[in-house]
Amino acid sequence: MATTTTALPKAPVTDTASESNERKLRRFAPSWFLVSPSVALLLLWMLVPLSMTVYFSVIRYNLLYPGENDFVGLENFHYFLTDAGFMPGMINTLLLVGSVLLISVVLGV
């Protein structure tokens, strides 16, 4: 009994991955176009307060004389990190956050 094996012809090489990516891109392009204004507004909504926070953290801002803003760099951070009330305030904050988390998870409130 002799067994003869023949090689099957190879399938033609096609770039199916890029075709499917192009097809997906074409299919979802209108939706990205419609969603982009909302995404831009959300980015603006997040970036403006973040940039203002960074700006106000490195200047000395006086509420009585708002035009007299002096750049102080990291001096503000040194001031509140070395303040005597910083550690008690941090401990109180962590206790409050931890207890609220624990209560809300355990009781499901």
Per-residue model confidence as pLDDT tens digits over 61-97: 888 988 888 999 999 999 999 999 999 999 999 999 9
| Alpha-carbon gap, residue 29 to 37, rounded angstroms | 14
The per-residue pLDDT for 99 is 96
| Alpha-carbon gap, residue 15 to 55, rounded angstroms | 50
> 73: alpha, beta or left, given left = phi > 0 and alpha = psi -120 to 50?
left
> 11: alpha, beta or left, given left = phi > 0 and alpha = psi -120 to 50?
beta
| Alpha-carbon gap, residue 88 to 25, rounded angstroms | 54
Domain limits of the chain? 17-83
Which residue from 50, 56, 62, 58 is spatially nearest to 78, judged by alpha carbons? 58
Question: For the chain, how many helices (H) and strands (E)?
Answer: 3, 2
* Bridge partner list, 70: 60
Per-residue model confidence as pLDDT tens digits over 20-52: 778 877 887 788 888 999 999 999 999 999 999
Rounded to two decimals, the pTM is: 0.57
